[in-house]
Amino acid sequence: MKKSSIILAVFCLCAVLVSGSAFGSSYLQGKKYGIFNILGIQADHAYHCAGSSCWSWTGGESNGAYVAYSGGYGDYSDAKCTSSNWGCRFVYAVQGVCHQETNRGLYTSGKNIARGNVGGYWLTGVVFGTYGEPVSWTACKTACWLWW
């Protein structure tokens, strides 16, 4: 009886860990909406959400559509930190744009918006990288304790 109880407890713990609901994990996802069209090129504003809360330094964090392939379980507090901690603030269009900020928020989920058909990411990803200019990303990871 004791052995079966231990096996059941381990099984339940593993199920909780795999489901992503243990230790403060939240379902993180990127969202987007079109903001303008220049010479036939659609530019999308992007932001990230954890549960029912969404964040973006640049504003506009509602009424967006889910960005394909951007969803996964990660840390709610870390996702919020990347858009609320002053150590994560960057000079817009010099060190990154909303696309890189969104990827920073999704960092703990291991996902990003690169594969999600976000208008303009093909350019901003090349210019600024996945998480923005490296020095500002290093400062953000330090401010939010993301060095794991």
How far CA 98 is from CA of 4, 42, 44, in Å, comes to 51, 15, 9
Provide the token pair at 18. 């795999």
| pTM of the entire predicted model | 0.81
Rounded mean pLDDT of the chain? 86
Residues 61-65 have a mean pLDDT of 92
pLDDT of 138 above 60: yes
* pLDDT (0 to 100) of residue 14: 43
Long-range CB contact pairs, 34-38, < 8 A, 24+:
34/119, 35/60
SS3 annotation, the chain: CHHHHHHHHHHHHHHHHHHCCCCCEEEEEEEEEEEEEECCEEEEEEEEEECCEEECCCCCCCCCEECCCCCEEEEHHHHHHCCCCHHHCCCECCCECHHHHHHHHHHHHCCCCCCCCCCCHHHHHHHHCCCCCHHHHHHHHHHCCCCC
For residue 36, what pLDDT band results from cuts at 50, 70 and 90?
confident
Residues 83-98 have a mean pLDDT of 93
CA geometry: angle 140, 141, 142, nearest 5 deg: 90
Least confident of 24-38, 67-81, 89-103: 24-38
pLDDT of 86 above 50: yes
Whether the Cβ atoms of residue 124 and residue 118 lie closer than 8 Å to each other: no
